[in-house]
Amino acid sequence: MAVKVKIPSMFQPATGGLKTAEVSNCETVGECFTKLSDEYPPLRKMLFDENDRLSGFLVVFVNGESIKGDVLETRVNSGDEIFPMMIIDGG
């Protein structure tokens, strides 16, 4: 079984329109995002900054709960669902 990553609509062009992806053999959110961005390289600049840290424009939910602290080191289990959500700022 794998971890499911829900792809936000604004990220879907980078995945060819994929709405949900499954990632296997990962133990943390960071590993899942890395494997997903390896499969879909345009996602890398949406998920990570230039120092391979989580983009400052994202909030990440695991199983519906907002993750605080070191998001990329958050442990995940098979069957979990990750949802990265873009923070839109404006005024």
Going from the N-terminus, what domains does the chain have, and what CATH number goes with each? Answer: 3-86 (3.10.20.30)
| One-character DSSP codes across 13-33 | GGGTT-SEEEE-S--BHHHHH
3-class DSSP state of 27 = coil
pLDDT of amino acid 87: 85
**Is the predicted pLDDT of residue 1 greater than 80, yes or no?**
no
Q: How far apart are the first and last CA of the chain?
A: 43
The model's confidence at residue 90, banded by pLDDT at 50, 70 and 90, is low
**What predicted TM-score, i.e. pTM, was given to this entire model?**
0.92
Region of poorest pLDDT, from 10-14, 15-19, 49-53, 84-88: 84-88
Written as one letter, the residue type at 77 is N
pLDDT averaged over every residue in the chain: 94
3-class DSSP state of 58 = strand
What is the distance between the alpha carbons of residues 70 and 90, in angstroms, rounded to a whole number?
26
- Over the stretch 19-54, which tens digit does the pLDDT of each residue have? 999 999 999 999 999 999 999 999 999 999 999 999
